[in-house]
């Protein structure tokens, strides 16, 4: 016997199913785009290729990313700069000397399962429209670089680091730590890499008091 609308089980309150599906597809698209960027670089990421990876039609992706590839790249940058920026900020504001905290940031990026799309995104920045280029740079600068900049300046104020260009020091540090998983190294060497990179940086930044 058919169930009348009056006797049908009431639907539990919450977001409409279409909203959940949209959120799920957007999240899956960002994860898949990250994987494509890491595996094949910027050339591997297109809206059509991403749709194939997800098993959907490309027009459904344009519903979420009307700006196409540029907006997709920005979404990846926004997501991962938010996650890692929060982790870096917590480490930078935590206990320990500036040198110890730099080591903790490097170890944050050193796990074998951790792969970050920042360098590929940076390399692709020149292929973006000017507004998208500026937004991607803003995301990285505000969320990833700024906490480290405060940390390096704290070390300078404490007399541990020389008064060099702190922004340049931060970018060199990030260039190295974000490529940790690309180094060909033994297990022991890979374990030692974060502290090794910090020691190189400190020897470049450090005053005689810091190195004593």
What per-residue confidence (pLDDT) applies to 188?
Answer: 83
| 161, β-bridge pairs | 206
User: Taking the CB of residue 92, how many other CB atoms lie within 10 A of it?
Assistant: 20
What per-residue confidence (pLDDT) applies to 210?
Answer: 53
Q: Which pair of structure tokens corresponds to residue 15? A: 């977001």
Q: What average pLDDT does range 115-135 have in this prediction?
A: 80
Burial class (CB in 10 A: 0-12, 13-18, 19+), 194: buried
Using CA atoms, how far apart are residues 139 and 131, in angstroms rounded to an integer? 12
End-to-end CA gap in the chain? 86
pLDDT in tens, 34-65: 888 878 777 788 899 999 999 999 998 998 99
CA angle, corner 127, sides to 139 and 65, nearest 5?
A: 65
| 206, β-bridge pairs | 161
What per-residue confidence (pLDDT) applies to 62?
Answer: 92
Q: Which pair of structure tokens corresponds to residue 8? A: 């049908």
**Mean pLDDT over each residue of the chain, to the nearest integer:** 81
Beta-strand ranges (E) seen in the chain are none
Q: Where are the domains of the chain?
A: 69-211
What per-residue confidence (pLDDT) applies to 18?
Answer: 44
Domain 69-211 adopts which CATH fold? Answer: Tetracycline Repressor; domain 2 (1.10.357)
What per-residue confidence (pLDDT) applies to 181?
Answer: 63
């Amino acid at each position: 016997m058919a169930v009348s609308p009056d006797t049908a089980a009431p639907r539990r309150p919450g977001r409409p199913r279409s909203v959940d599906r949209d959120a799920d597809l957007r999240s899956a698209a960002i994860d898949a785009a990250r994987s494509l960027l890491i595996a094949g670089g910027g050339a591997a990421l297109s809206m059509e290729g991403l749709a194939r990876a997800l098993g959907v039609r490309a027009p459904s992706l344009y519903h979420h990313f009307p700006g196409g590839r540029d907006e997709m790249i920005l979404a990846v940058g926004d997501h991962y700069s938010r996650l890692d920026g929060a982790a870096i900020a917590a480490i930078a504001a935590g206990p320990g000397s500036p040198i110890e905290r730099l080591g903790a940031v490097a170890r944050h990026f050193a796990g074998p399962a951790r792969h970050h799309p920042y360098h590929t995104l940076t390399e692709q920045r020149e292929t973006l429209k000017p507004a998208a280029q500026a937004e991607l740079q803003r995301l990285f600068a505000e969320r990833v670089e700024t906490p480290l900049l405060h940390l390096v300046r704290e070390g300078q104020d404490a007399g541990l680091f020389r008064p060099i260009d702190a922004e340049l020091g931060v970018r060199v540090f990030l260039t190295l730590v974000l490529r940790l998983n690309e180094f060909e190294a033994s297990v022991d060497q890979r374990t030692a890499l974060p502290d090794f990179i910090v020691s190189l940086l400190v020897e470049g930044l450090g005053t005689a008091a810091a190195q004593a």
